[in-house]
Amino acid sequence: MKLKNILSIATIATLLAACGQHLTVPSDAKMEARLPKIYPDYTEVTIPANICPMNFIVQEGESEVRARFTFPGGEYIYGEEQKILIDETQWQEMLDSAKGQEIKVEVFAKVGGTWKGYQPFNFYVAEDSIDEYISYRAIQPSYVAYERLSINQRNLTNFEVKEIYNNMSVSNEKIGQCINCHSYKNYKTDNMLFHMRQGYGGTMLVTNGQLKKIDLKTDETLSAGVYPSWHPTHNYIAFSTNKTGQSFHTKDLNKIEVQDTESDLILYDVDKNEVSIISELDDELEVFPTWSPDGKKLYFCSAHFEYYNDSIEKSAEMIQRYDEVKYSLYSVDFDPDTKEFSNVEMVYDAASDSINQSVTLPRVSPDGRYILFAQAAFGCFHVWHADADIFMMDLQTKEVQKLDAVNSDRSESYPSWSSNGRWIMVDSRRDDGNYTRPYIAYFDKNGKAHKPFMLPQKDPNFYTFYLRSFNRPEFMIEPVTISPQEFATKAKEDAIPAKYADR
Amino acid sequence: MSKKNNHRRDVSVETKKPPLSQKTTQESQKEKKTINITKGTSLCIAIVATVMVAVLGAYYLVVRNSDMLFMAQSKDFFSSDPMFMGECMHSPGGFLTWAGSFLTQFFYHPKWGSAIMIGIWIISMWMSKLVFRVKMAWMALLAIPVVCLLVSTIGTGYWLYYNKQAGYWFYGTIGYLISILLVLFNAAFRKKTDRIITILLIACTYPFFGWYTLLALVYVAMLTLSRMKKYDSPITKILLPVIPLVLVGVVPPLFYNLYSGIRIEDVWTAGFPIFANGDMISFYPSIPFIVLSAVPLLFPFLPKKVENSTGMTCAVFLVTIVVMVLSWLWVEKSDFQAYNYHAEMRMYRAAEEQDWDKVLDEMGNIPGDASREMVVLKNIALTNKGEMGTKMFKYNNMGEPPTNGFDTLRVHMVQTAAPLIYYYHGKTNFALRWAIENSVEFGYDYDNLKILARCALLSGEMEMAKRYLDILRTTLFYRDWADHLMPITKNPELIKKYPEFKNVRELRDHMGTVLDGDNGLCEMYLITYFSQTMNKDSKLLQEMTLDYSLIQKDIQLFWPRFYLYAQMHQGEPMPIHYQEAAMLYGNLEPESADISTMPFQDEVRKSYEGFHQMSQSLLQAGLSAEDVGEAMKGTYGNTFYWFYFFCRDVHSY
């Protein structure tokens, strides 16, 4: 009886509190002829029809804020201290109603006891939806040490985040493990992989839902597989193999250089567990393989670099000449049935005297028309290069354009396409120069990229306190269903050594 | 107490069998009789044991370890932001991490933190007395677990820098109290079904309390065993103690699937501190936690009747005295009182606060050789006071690598102080690097966040600086510090008005950039870098390059920097150590420079001649180089000559 009373009182109190939460916008607000300062900057962005609520902070005033969302079906008002936290059901209603149209947002803030209103802005709701999931490696801005690393998957239609794998599930003080380069075949997770280095090292490979642990290092190759790309139609994976080093700028704001002293390309035949060489030219640093959607071309980057100082180690010479390394974009034809590569072609001579730049991380659009890449003055690790921007080549016209709408004055790297080709995602350090965050931009049917928006979070203050980078954000159309514990169990097993096959 | 028992019996009169916790009238009356007799003595013992805990705690925490406690909190982190709570809950025992970090921040004022800690210990003692129904006469035994907690606090040595358990300093203290409270929760119920339900509920607290939930389950089993009665059914006798023990084995793996960041083999020890670094695992600092966990297992079985016999009285006094003496001896032995360990912390704090006089006072008071970190901090203080040229060799520049003594932990300066050291050398990228590296390994802490904020402000990365300052603004004791610097993020020009940045800014602004690396050896890197740098634009940086060429003991590097110094300081007196170096090098390698026309002070000429003569005569007398150095230390230990010849075999780390 007592409990019943308590529950009744609690229910009434909740209802009263809910009634008290009915918000209005001030009618006497003094209007400012400018957009409000909000974080993240979501003003005038185009958003997918299935994205989670675009919560934000109003960086105006000190105490109270309001935001009125007007959509074809009505309006909603929000405001909680400085935050605009949108109800998920109402947001879905807004998206459904405004598909192909816009949601108008009017922001009001109490500044020094007076309400001010700001120029309204719109969320343009695209007809196109976005892949439901992305995955990324959560990592502190990398130097040498590593401790807790995880590959996470985030549902873009809500705020759910789950760990795919966490290295601490197998690591301890004696056995540290680094994880990297998660990758999926055709945006699906029944064929996927990621690498583990150091303790329990190997490549975790899921093929047709079956989990295996493979050792891709052979006596004939430089290293185990590093940067991967799944062949879209056959059971092959192209990898780069790299000898990588790291050094530190004493003052430059780029802070770190990561360089390959050597790198080649290999092909891994999943069914046969065989590794073969694609390219291992002496004075070429080949890296970042990526398949065309039909699987008949492999794009990759390569830098021509000749070591000429025999008195010092290659790594030392590379440190001295780090800014001379410039990668251009190439392609090579591939016959999936015979596994034969032929006809290497220069696609974009970025390293030429006239351009004098370095391109990395190419990704072909799902329709095969465009190729995105990151470009900066030199090197292969553009996440640490503030001048790095996203460029796009139209593979029909060979015209290259800088995606101004997507870029900032800080590093942009790791571009990727959604499975329908209507959304591109880039890793950007525009926020503060140190922590990479995923930005998503609409890519319309005319080949135009729109203003990107930062991955929304339930608490818009999330990014202030989250001292990790979102590394290698990748789209997925479904979640990874193998549990972190299953990965951990497999990780502790011995890796199956891959065989080397002469070509 | 006996009245209370009688009352209990009255209210549960409907049960045919007396409940576990109930006593028969005869038992109760007998107990009443004996307890009344020994009550005064027992109370005295309980008070003495409590006072012992308070006194030991106050003395060893506040009087002897305030500097360490301040450092401990600066290497921890607590934020009021809900995301921090979420982060803590990523591992079993997450609540203890959160609460431990919350309370650790009070060591910012070591007296406050200590008072809270001692308060919790005393509460734990008395709660365990209540839970296990221990007579006051045995109160000294109840103090053993809290003595363990004291030992675990003051006996970590250099593990302070290498401990990865966030909130460690209060983790055990709160954990032990929680485990006692969980047992109390179980003991508060009499019905078998209630007790089983409470056992299950206790097991469900594993995500919050980890190891201490498991301890509570074991204690419940022991308590239940101790209260078994002859007339209890066999099922009761077996089931009640067995259920919690089975849960200890079963619950952690059941919860394993909630956590993706813990090894299956570690789920039973989640929250138990492991002191490991690389391949080295130290058992010694874990001993207090083993004793802490084991000793309460005996509490339920302590005699419930303390008869008023001479033998028993003697036994009680003996136990009390032995426990107190052994406790004190253990605490005294465990208290890590290596002079340099504490002095280094005091110097670090003073350097962090730019109290250069205090840094130098500490350095001047060191009884033996300093650690290398102390030598570097001393040099930073002298540089900031503009006294390197006149005083750098007036202090003991010998430096030894720090050791724990009780294990083989290898301490590295990059982990203990490199971010601050690099920062004061204007090498903000390297300061930032090591602040991040250490945060990756040991978790973000106030100290590193402050370095990160400062570096970002200096390099003009205002959004980054604001992020770090925003985080510090959510803390209890660093909010003011963050508020003080926040205006710079809105107006970068303001940094010029902050005196604390003046020298660092000058060094940084005049330094070039190269692609480089320190290979984990901070001091060696600085010596190499600065001794090989030439700079004509900044007097501060130029003098630093000269100072480091002296430390490098490199004649070829010295002369160009010496001449440049003379050019840049025309009309100013030449500092004595630079004169000493010129005098020595000019005599050692006359071809390297002509010193005949240099206007040396008489004092320098005399000291060099005296040094030369004395060293020659001692060597001719057959003394070894080492003995010569020792013999000359009193007279010439404050000269560059002595440093050059006898300050050797210095191991940077």
Q: How far is B157 from chain A (nearest CA, A)?
A: 19
The whole-angstrom separation of Cα A236 and Cα A273 is 10
Q: Closest-CA residue in chain A for B79? A: A465
Q: Closest-CA residue in chain B for A249? A: B515
Q: Which residues of B touch A140 (CB under 8 A)?
A: 436, 439-440
- Cβ distance A172 to B279 less than 8 Å, yes or no, reads no
Give the residue-averaged pLDDT of A61-65: 86
Q: How far is A164 from chain B (nearest CA, A)?
A: 8
Q: Is the CATH number 1.10.8 carried by domain A31-125?
A: no
Classified as helix, coil or strand, A195 is strand
- State the burial class of residue B521 (Cβ atoms within 10 Å of its Cβ: 0-12, 13-18, 19+): middle
For an interface test with B, give the residue of A151, A160, A251 to mutate (most B CBs within 10 A).
A251
Q: Which residues of A touch B474 (CB under 8 A)?
A: 465
- Cβ distance A252 to B517 less than 8 Å, yes or no, reads no
Q: What stretch(es) of chain A map to CATH 2.60.40?
A: 31-125
pLDDT band at A21 (very low <50, low <70, confident <90, very high): low
The whole-angstrom separation of Cα A496 and Cα B243 is 43
Contact A176, A194 (CB under 8 A): no
Of the candidates B409, B644, B393, B430, the residue with the CA atom closest to the CA atom of residue B521:
B430
- Cβ distance B517 to A247 less than 8 Å, yes or no, reads yes
pLDDT band at A17 (very low <50, low <70, confident <90, very high): low
The rounded mean pLDDT for chain B is: 92
Give percent of chain A above pLDDT 70. 96
A17 touches chain B (CB under 8 A): no
Q: How far is B272 from chain A (nearest CA, A)?
A: 14
The whole-angstrom separation of Cα B56 and Cα B449 is 34
- pLDDT for B315: 85
pLDDT band at A460 (very low <50, low <70, confident <90, very high): very high
Residues of chain B where predicted confidence (pLDDT) is lower than 70: 1-38, 306-308
Residue type, A362: P
Q: Closest-CA residue in chain A for B467? A: A464
Q: Closest-CA residue in chain B for A151? A: B260
Q: Tell whether the model's pLDDT for residue A67 goes beyond 80.
A: yes
The whole-angstrom separation of Cα A481 and Cα A459 is 26
CA B523 to chain centre: 23
Q: What DSSP string runs through B264-276?
A: GGGGGGTTS--EE
Q: How far is A29 from chain B (nearest CA, A)?
A: 27
The whole-angstrom separation of Cα A474 and Cα A343 is 30
Query: How much is the ipTM here?
Result: 0.93
- Cβ distance A165 to B429 less than 8 Å, yes or no, reads no
Contact A118, A60 (CB under 8 A): yes
CA A373 to chain centre: 13
| Each residue's pLDDT tens digit, A384-417 | 999 999 999 999 999 999 999 999 999 999 999 9
Of the candidates A425, A419, A451, the residue with the CA atom closest to the CA atom of residue A438:
A425
Q: Which residues of B touch A257 (CB under 8 A)?
A: 515
Angle made by CA atoms B341, B346, B350, in degrees to the nearest 5:
145
A200 touches chain B (CB under 8 A): no
Q: Closest-CA residue in chain A for B529? A: A250
Q: Closest-CA residue in chain B for A176? A: B278
Q: What DSSP string runs through B302-363?
A: S-S-----HHHHHHHHHHHHHHHHHHHHHHHHHS---HHHHHHHHHHHHHHTT-HHHHHHHH
- Cβ distance B440 to A147 less than 8 Å, yes or no, reads yes
The whole-angstrom separation of Cα B46 and Cα B305 is 16
- Cβ distance A168 to B261 less than 8 Å, yes or no, reads yes
Q: Which residues of B touch A172 (CB under 8 A)?
A: 263, 266, 276
Q: Which of A174, A250, A464 is the closest to B513 by Cβ?
A: A250
Q: Which residues of B touch A250 (CB under 8 A)?
A: 427, 429-430, 511-516, 529
- pLDDT for A50: 97
Q: Closest-CA residue in chain B for A175? A: B278
How far, CA to CA in Å, does B258 sit from each of A395, B89, B131?
Answer: 47, 11, 32
Tokens of B205: 């607290």
Contact B288, B151 (CB under 8 A): yes
Q: How far is A439 from chain B (nearest CA, A)?
A: 18
- Cβ distance A467 to B444 less than 8 Å, yes or no, reads yes
Contacting residues for B494 by C-beta, under 8 A, at least 6 apart: B487, B488
Classified as helix, coil or strand, A86 is coil
CA B161 to chain centre: 6
A245 touches chain B (CB under 8 A): no
- pLDDT for A11: 60
The whole-angstrom separation of Cα A80 and Cα A109 is 11
Q: Which of B261, B266, B444 is the closest to A150 by Cβ?
A: B261
A485 touches chain B (CB under 8 A): yes
- The predicted model scores a pTM of 0.92
- pLDDT for B38: 64
Give the orientation angle of helix B64-74 with respect to helix B446-458, to 10 degrees.
60
- Cβ distance B276 to A322 less than 8 Å, yes or no, reads no
- Cβ distance B471 to A464 less than 8 Å, yes or no, reads yes
| Each residue's pLDDT tens digit, B379-426 | 999 999 999 999 999 999 988 889 999 999 999 999 999 999 999 999
Q: Closest-CA residue in chain B for A468? A: B440
Q: Are strands A114-117 and A30-31 parallel, antiparallel or unpaired?
A: parallel
- Cβ distance B83 to A250 less than 8 Å, yes or no, reads no
- Cβ distance B263 to A169 less than 8 Å, yes or no, reads yes
- Cβ distance B279 to A174 less than 8 Å, yes or no, reads yes
A250 touches chain B (CB under 8 A): yes
- Cβ distance A140 to B439 less than 8 Å, yes or no, reads yes
Q: Are strands A358-364 and A340-348 parallel, antiparallel or unpaired?
A: unpaired
Q: Tell whether the model's pLDDT for residue A63 goes beyond 90.
A: no
- Cβ distance B263 to A488 less than 8 Å, yes or no, reads yes
A467 touches chain B (CB under 8 A): yes
- Cβ distance B260 to A150 less than 8 Å, yes or no, reads yes
Q: Which of A250, A434, A464 is the closest to B430 by Cβ?
A: A250
Contacting residues for B176 by C-beta, under 8 A, at least 6 apart: B124, B145, B146, B149, B212, B215, B292
Q: Which of B79, B83, B278 is the closest to A462 by Cβ?
A: B83
Q: Is the CATH number 2.120.10.30 carried by domain A133-497?
A: yes
- pLDDT for A8: 61
Q: What stretch(es) of chain A map to CATH 2.120.10.30?
A: 133-497
Residue located via tokens 């400062």: B454
Q: How far is B97 from chain A (nearest CA, A)?
A: 16
Residue type, B219: Y
Q: How far is A166 from chain B (nearest CA, A)?
A: 5
